[in-house]
C-alpha cells in the first residue's frame, strides 16, 4: 500500500495551484457577477494543457489520467466553481464521451482540438420531460441518406451556448427506447439546423452558462454517430459514471477551501476577549469538516485510481456514485459550517464565503441527483445478492 | 545556439516558518522549488529558443532530490538536464560550487551563452554566477533585466541602484538574470507528465568531471566558517502617533536634522 502521489502529480498540482491562484482567483468574483468566464482564461488553460488533462497525449491531452484530472478539479474548485464547471463539463463529460466511445478518426478530428482547448465541448442529454428519467428523451434522429436529421430541444446544457462540439443523445428507435433505441451523436454548432435557445440565470455557478439548445432539421453526417448505433444510452451512463469522480474531486476542493476560510476566520475573529477558535462549538465544526474532507479525499483518489488502472466495472460505477453523493454532501455541510463560523460576515456578498455557499448547492442536483446516485449504489449492492431493483 | 542555464534547488522560503521558541527556521516539510531567479534565467533562455531556436541545457549541483528541479525545467521547455551529484561535492562554498559547475560546463562544451539567476534565496550571496564566469574566463554581465543577441555578441540592460547600464559583450558570455526580466512561464501539464515518465536526467559524479584533487566540496572551499551567530535583534522603530500633518512636520524636521534632505 502506498498513499503518496507520484512526483509528476505533485508538480502538476503545484502548477495548477499557481495557475488557479494567479489567473483564476483574481477574477472569481467578477465571473460570478458578470455571469461569464472570460475566454481568455480558457485559452490560457488550453495552452498549459489544462483543457484535456485526462486524455492521452496522442490526442492532444496531458496524459495525466483521471487522477491528474481530479487534481485539476480539486484545485480549480478551491478558487472558482464557475470556471471549474466550464472546464469540467467540457472535459469530464463533453469530450470524455468522445474519448470513451469515439473511433480513432473521431478522436483525431474532435478530441484533439478539444483537448488542446482550441474548441469547447458540451454534453446534451437533459430535456424538459427527461431529467432523472433520462430514458424519456424525445429528441429524434432519423436517417436520411448519408445523414441523420435531428429534431428536438435540450435544456440546461452547461456550455450549451459556447460549445463548438456537442455530444447529443437522440432517439433513433422509439420502439426500443433506452434499450437499443438511443444513439449518441457528435454535433458541431455550425451544422445547419443547430441553434442556441434561452440562457438561464442561476443561484450559483453563475459564470458557467446553462443554455437551451434546439435542433430543427439539424443535419448530422452518419460518420458522427458516436459509439454503437442504438447504444447511446450506455455511452451516456458510462460517461456520467466517470464524470462523477471528478465531480467528487471538485467538491473536495470546495470543501477544503471552506475549511481553510473557516480556520482563518476563527483564528482572527475576537469575541468575548479571545479568538472564536477558543470555543469548543467552533472547534467541533472544524474537526468535523476536516474529518469528512479526508474521508472524501481517500474515496475520490481511490476511485480515480480504479479508473486509471482499468477497473471500470460495476464496482467502479458504485464507487463513482459514492464520490458524487458523499462529495456533494460533504461540501454542503462544509460550506454551511463555514458560513456559520463567519456569522454575519458569511452572509455578505463582500466575502467569497457567500459565493461558495451558493456555488455548492448544484452539486447535489446535476450529473444525476443524489437520490438517483443512492438508487445506483443500492441497485448494484442488491444485484450482488440476487435482488433486482426496478 | 546552445544555452546553459544553472539552476539551484532551494527551500520555498515563502513556506518556511520560524520556530517561535528557538528563532530558527523550521525546514521540515518545506517544499523545494527552483530558485525563483533561476526560473527568470530559464525563461530568458526559452524565449531565445522560441524566437531564434536554441538547445537549452539546465544544470544543477545538489543532492539526488535536485532531480525534481531539473524535471520542472524540462516541463517548462528545456531540452537537456544534467544533475551533478556526489558526496564529494558536499560542503562546497560558492567558489567550489562555481568550480564544479565550471568543470561540468566545459565538459558540455560548445555553449554560446550561460544564464544564471542573480541570487539564490537561501544562500543569498549572488557570487556563483560571477565566479563561474571567472573560472571559465568569459565575460559576465550581472543584474540583467533585458537582453538581445546580435551576431556574435549580447547586449544587455543591467539594473543598478540608481539607474540602468547597457553593456555589450562578445559570446560566449555569462549573464545573471534578475526577477524584473520576465514572468516565467508555467510548466505545461503534458510537459510535466513527460518530464517524469519519458525524459532523462543525466547524472554526473566527480568521476565524470576529471577534477583535480582538492578542488571539490569542502576540500576545494577556501571559505572557512569560524563561528555562526544570529545578528542582534534590531531596535524597534519609533511610532509617531501625532495627527498626519503634525507627524509629517516632525518627520521632515528629523530628516533635515540628519542632512538626509535639505532645507
Ligand atoms: C446548472 C445545471 C447544469 C446542468 N448541466 C447539464 C448538462 O451539461 N447536460 C445535461 O444533459 N444536463 C444538465 N443538467 C441537467 C441535470 O442533469 C438535471 O437537472 C438532473 O439530472 C435532474 O433532473 P431534473 O432537474 O429534471 O429533476 P427531476 O428528475 O425532475 O427530479 C426532481 C426531484 O425528484 C427526485 N427524483 C426523480 N426521480 C426519482 C426517483 N426515481 N427516485 C427518487 N427520487 C427521484 C430527484 O432526485 C429530485 O429531487 C444541468 C442542470 C443544472 C441545474
Ligand atoms: C553542506 C554545505 C556546506 C556549505 N558550506 C559552505 C561554506 O563553507 N562556505 C560557503 O561560503 N558556503 C557554504 N555553503 C553554501 C553554498 O556554498 C552555497 O549555497 C552555494 O555555493 C550557492 O551560493 P548561493 O546560495 O549564495 O547562490 P548564489 O551565488 O546567490 O546563486 C546565484 C546563481 O548561481 C547559480 N547556482 C548557485 N548554486 C548553484 C548550484 N548548486 N547548482 C547550479 N547553479 C547554482 C544559480 O543560477 C543561482 O541563481 C554550504 C552549503 C552546504 C549545503
Per-residue pLDDT tens over the stretch A365-378: 999 999 999 999 99
Q: Which residue segment(s) compose the domain that A68 sits in?
A: 7-120
CB contact at 8 A, A100 and A123 = no
Check residue B116 and give left, alpha or beta (phi > 0: left; psi -120 to 50: alpha): beta
Please state the atom number of ligand 2 nearest to the C-alpha of residue B98.
21
Give CA–CA dist B174/B114, Å, rounded.
5
Contact B186 A7 (CB under 8 A): no
Count H helices and E strands in chain A, helices first.
13, 10
Residues of A with Cβ-Cβ distance to B197 under 8 angstroms: 8, 63
Give the mutation target among A32, A123, A212, A365 for probing the ligand 1 site: most ligand atoms within 8 A of CB.
A365
Nearest to A66 by CA among A367, A373, A301: A301
Nearest to A88 by CA among A300, A242, A272: A242
In a domain, A178, yes or no: yes
Last residue within a domain, chosen from A79, A97, A120: A120
Specify whether A128 is located in the same domain as A149.
yes
Least CB-CB distance to B186: which of A15, A62, A63?
A: A15
| pLDDT at res. B19 | 74
Ligand closest to the CA atom of residue B90: 2
The DSSP annotation for A211-243 comes to EEEEEEEEEEEGGGEESSTTBHHHHHHHHHHHH
In a domain, A330, yes or no: yes
Mean pLDDT, residues B147-154: 93
CA dihedral of residues A238, A242, A243, A244 (deg, nearest 10):
110
- Closest residue in A to B188 (Cα) is A48
CB contact at 8 A, A217 and A149 = yes
In a domain, A79, yes or no: yes
Check residue A174 and give left, alpha or beta (phi > 0: left; psi -120 to 50: alpha): alpha
Give CA–CA dist A279/B97, Å, rounded.
53
Count H helices and E strands in chain B, helices first.
6, 13
Q: Would you say residue A29 has pLDDT above 80?
A: yes
CA dihedral of residues B233, B234, B240, B244 (deg, nearest 10):
-120
- Rg of chain B, C-alpha, whole Å: 22
In a domain, A2, yes or no: no
Most B-contacting residue of A48, A56, A73, A76 (CB-CB within 10 A), to test interface? A48
Atom 38 (ligand 2): residue with closest C-alpha? B8
Specify whether A366 is located in the same domain as A257.
yes
The pLDDT confidence band at residue B231, using thresholds 50, 70 and 90, is confident
Specify whether A378 is located in the same domain as A239.
yes
CB contact at 8 A, A243 and A96 = yes
Specify whether A250 is located in the same domain as A347.
yes
Mean pLDDT, residues A19-25: 98
Q: Would you say residue B210 has pLDDT above 90?
A: no
Q: Is B112 exposed, middle or buried (0-12, 13-18, 19+ CB in 10 A)?
A: middle
Last residue within a domain, chosen from A191, A208, A231: A231
Average predicted confidence (pLDDT) for chain A: 97
B125 ligand 2 Cβ < 6 A = yes
| pLDDT at res. B123 | 87
Ligand closest to the CA atom of residue A81: 1
- Closest residue in A to B65 (Cα) is A7
CB contact at 8 A, B37 and B91 = no
Nearest to A215 by CA among A157, A141, A163: A141
Specify whether A338 is located in the same domain as A267.
yes
The three cell numbers of residue A326 are 458523499
The three cell numbers of residue B246 are 503634525
Residues of A with Cβ-Cβ distance to B77 under 8 angstroms: none
Q: Would you say residue B25 has pLDDT above 70?
A: no
Give CA–CA dist A74/A88, Å, rounded.
11
The pLDDT confidence band at residue A271, using thresholds 50, 70 and 90, is very high
CB atoms within 10 A of CB A241: 26
Known catalytic residue at A18: no
The three cell numbers of residue B34 are 527552483
| pLDDT at res. A312 | 85
Last residue within a domain, chosen from A120, A135, A162: A120
Contact B72 A63 (CB under 8 A): no
Please, what is the Cα angle at B18 between B15 and B22, to 5 degrees? 155
In a domain, A1, yes or no: no
Residues of A with Cβ-Cβ distance to B72 under 8 angstroms: 11
Count of structural domains, chain A:
3
The DSSP annotation for A97-137 comes to HHHHH--HHHIIIIIHHHHTTSS-EEEE--BTTBSS-GGG-
Give CA–CA dist B195/B190, Å, rounded.
8
Please state the atom number of ligand 1 nearest to the C-alpha of residue A134.
21
In a domain, A51, yes or no: yes
Least CB-CB distance to B192: which of A11, A18, A47?
A: A11
In a domain, A292, yes or no: yes
Distance A126 CA to ligand 1 centre (A): 8
Per-domain boundaries in chain B: 2-209
Q: How do beta strands B173-177 and B140-150 pair?
A: parallel
Contact B72 A49 (CB under 8 A): no
Nearest to A234 by CA among A359, A339, A362, A100: A100
Give CA–CA dist B252/B263, Å, rounded.
9
Q: What is the ipTM metric for this complex?
A: 0.95
Give CA–CA dist B218/B14, Å, rounded.
29
Give CA–CA dist A190/A110, Å, rounded.
14
Q: Can you give the pTM of this predicted structure?
A: 0.92
Give CA–CA dist B206/B104, Å, rounded.
10
Nearest to A290 by CA among A260, A324, A251: A260
More confidently predicted of B236 and B54: B54
Specify whether A280 is located in the same domain as A141.
no
Distance A334 CA to ligand 1 centre (A): 23
**CATH code for position A223:** 2.40.110.10
Specify whether A33 is located in the same domain as A90.
yes
At CB < 8 Å, which residues of chain A contact B? 6-8, 11-12, 14-16, 18-19, 47-50, 53, 57, 61-64, 68
Please, what is the Cα angle at A120 between A51 and A255, to 5 degrees? 50
Mean pLDDT, residues A119-141: 97
Which residues line the pocket of ligand 1, CB cutoff 6 A? A 89, 123-126, 131-132, 156-158, 202, 210, 362, 365-369, 371-372, 375
The pLDDT confidence band at residue B23, using thresholds 50, 70 and 90, is low
Helix (H, G, I), strand (E, B) or coil at B154: strand
B37 ligand 2 Cβ < 6 A = yes
CATH number assigned to the domain with residue range B2-209, chosen from the 4 options 3.40.50.620, 2.40.37.10, 3.30.420.40, 3.30.450.40: 3.40.50.620
Q: What is the distance of C-alpha A275 from the center of its chain?
A: 38
**CATH code for position A319:** 1.20.140.10
Helix (H, G, I), strand (E, B) or coil at A191: coil
Q: What are phi and psi of B12, to 5 degrees?
A: -70, 100
Specify whether A151 is located in the same domain as A287.
no
- Rg of chain A, C-alpha, whole Å: 21
Residues of A with Cβ-Cβ distance to B187 under 8 angstroms: 11, 15
Taking CA atoms, A280 is separated from A290, A333, A353, in Å, by 15, 18, 22
CB contact at 8 A, A135 and A233 = yes
Specify whether A57 is located in the same domain as A183.
no
CA dihedral of residues B8, B9, B11, B14 (deg, nearest 10):
70
Mean pLDDT, residues A163-188: 97
Specify whether A78 is located in the same domain as A161.
no
Mean pLDDT, residues A5-10: 96
Q: How do beta strands B55-61 and B80-84 pair?
A: parallel
Specify whether A182 is located in the same domain as A253.
no
Specify whether A213 is located in the same domain as A262.
no
Most B-contacting residue of A4, A10, A11, A43 (CB-CB within 10 A), to test interface? A11
Cis peptide before B172 (omega within 30 of 0): yes
How close does chain A come to B197, measured CA to CA in Å? 8
- Residue B87: CA count within 13 A, CB half-sphere: 0
Distance B124 CA to ligand 2 centre (A): 8
CB contact at 8 A, B48 and B1 = yes
Give CA–CA dist B76/B56, Å, rounded.
11
In a domain, A263, yes or no: yes
Catalytic residue among A18, A354, A367, A371: A367
Q: Could you read off the pLDDT of A231-252 as tens digits, one per residue?
A: 999 999 999 999 999 999 999 9
Amino acid at each position: 500500500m502506498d498513499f503518496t502521489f507520484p512526483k509528476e502529480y505533485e508538480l502538476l498540482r503545484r502548477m495548477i495551484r499557481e495557475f488557479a491562484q494567479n489567473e483564476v482567483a483574481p477574477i472569481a468574483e467578477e465571473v460570478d457577477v458578470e455571469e461569464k468566464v472570460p475566454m481568455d482564461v480558457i485559452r490560457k488553460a488550453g495552452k498549459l494543457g489544462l483543457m484535456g488533462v485526462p486524455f492521452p497525449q496522442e490526442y492532444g491531452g496531458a496524459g495525466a489520467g483521471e487522477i491528474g484530472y481530479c487534481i485539476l478539479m480539486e484545485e480549480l474548485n478551491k478558487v472558482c466553481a464557475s470556471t471549474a464547471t466550464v472546464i469540467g463539463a467540457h472535459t469530464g463529460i463533453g469530450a470524455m464521451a468522445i474519448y470513451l466511445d469515439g473511433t480513432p478518426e473521431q478522436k483525431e478530428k474532435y478530441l484533439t482540438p478539444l483537448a488542446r482547448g482550441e474548441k469547447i465541448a458540451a454534453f446534451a442529454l437533459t430535456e424538459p420531460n427527461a431529467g432523472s428519467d433520462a430514458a424519456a428523451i424525445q429528441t429524434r434522429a432519423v436517417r436520411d441518406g448519408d445523414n441523420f436529421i435531428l429534431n428536438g430541444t435540450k435544456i440546461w446544457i452547461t456550455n450549451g451556448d459556447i460549445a463548438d462540439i456537442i455530444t447529443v443523445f437522440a432517439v433513433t428507435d422509439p420502439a426500443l427506447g433506452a434499450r437499443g433505441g438511443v444513439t449518441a451523436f457528435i454535433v458541431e454548432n455550425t451544422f445547419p439546423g443547430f441553434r442556441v435557445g434561452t440562457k438561464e440565470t442561476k443561484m450559483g455557478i453563475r459564470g458557467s452558462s446553462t443554455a437551451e439548445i434546439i435542433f430543427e432539421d439539424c443535419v448530422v453526417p452518419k460518420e458522427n454517430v458516436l459509439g454503437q448505433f442504438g447504444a447511446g444510452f450506455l455511452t451516456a451512463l458510462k460517461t456520467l459514471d466517470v464524470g462523477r469522480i471528478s465531480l467528487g474531486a471538485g467538491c473536495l476542493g470546495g470543501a477544503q477551501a471552506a475549511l481553510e476560510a473557516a480556520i482563518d476566520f476563527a483564528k482572527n475573529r475576537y469575541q468575548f476577549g479571545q479568538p472564536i477558535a477558543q470555543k469548543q462549538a467552533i472547534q467541533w465544526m472544524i474537526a468535523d469538516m476536516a474529518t469528512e474532507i479526508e474521508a472524501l479525499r481517500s474515496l475520490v483518489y481511490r476511485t480515480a485510481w480504479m479508473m486509471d488502472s482499468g477497473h471500470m466495472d460495476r464496482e467502479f460505477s458504485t464507487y463513482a456514485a459514492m464520490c458524487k453523493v458523499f462529495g456533494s454532501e460533504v461540501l454542503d455541510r462544509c460550506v454551511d459550517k463555514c458560513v456559520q463560523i463567519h456569522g454575519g460576515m458569511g452572509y455578505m456578498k463582500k466575502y467569497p464565503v457567500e459565493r461558495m455557499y451558493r456555488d455548492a448547492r448544484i452539486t447535489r442536483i446535476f450529473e444525476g441527483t443524489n437520490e438517483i446516485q443512492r438508487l445506483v449504489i443500492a441497485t448494484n449492492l442488491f444485484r450482488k445478492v440476487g435482488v433486482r431493483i426496478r | 545556439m546552445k544555452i546553459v542555464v544553472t539552476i539551484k534547488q532551494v527551500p520555498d522560503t515563502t513556506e518556511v516558518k520560524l520556530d517561535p521558541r528557538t528563532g530558527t527556521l523550521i525546514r521540515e516539510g518545506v517544499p523545494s522549488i527552483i530558485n525563483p531567479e533561476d526560473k527568470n534565467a530559464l525563461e530568458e533562455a526559452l524565449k531565445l529558443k522560441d524566437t531564434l531556436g536554441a538547445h537549452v541545457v539546465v544544470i544543477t549541483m545538489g543532492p539526488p532530490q535536485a532531480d525534481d528541479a531539473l524535471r520542472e525545467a524540462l516541463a517548462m521547455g528545456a531540452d537537456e538536464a544534467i544533475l551533478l551529484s556526489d558526496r564529494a561535492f558536499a560542503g562546497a562554498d560558492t567558489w567550489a560550487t562555481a568550480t564544479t559547475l565550471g568543470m561540468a560546463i566545459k565538459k558540455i562544451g560548445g555553449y554560446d551563452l550561460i544564464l544564471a539567476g542573480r541570487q539564490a534565496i537561501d544562500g543569498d550571496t549572488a557570487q556563483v554566477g560571477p565566479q563561474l564566469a571567472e573560472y571559465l574566463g568569459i565575460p559576465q554581465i550581472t543584474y540583467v533585466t533585458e537582453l538581445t543577441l546580435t551576431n556574435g555578441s549580447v547586449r544587455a540592460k543591467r539594473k543598478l541602484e540608481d539607474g540602468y547600464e547597457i553593456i555589450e559583450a562578445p559570446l560566449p558570455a555569462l549573464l545573471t538574470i534578475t526577477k524584473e526580466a520576465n514572468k516565467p512561464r508555467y510548466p505545461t501539464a503534458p510537459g510535466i507528465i513527460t518530464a517524469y515518465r519519458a525524459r532523462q536526467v543525466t547524472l554526473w559524479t566527480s568521476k565524470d568531471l576529471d577534477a583535480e584533487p582538492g578542488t571539490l566540496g569542502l576540500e576545494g572551499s577556501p571559505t572557512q566558517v569560524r563561528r555562526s551567530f544570529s545578528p542582534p535583534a534590531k531596535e524597534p522603530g519609533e511610532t509617531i502617533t501625532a495627527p498626519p500633518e503634525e507627524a509629517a512636520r516632525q518627520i521632515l524636521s528629523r530628516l533635515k536634522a540628519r542632512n538626509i534632505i535639505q532645507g
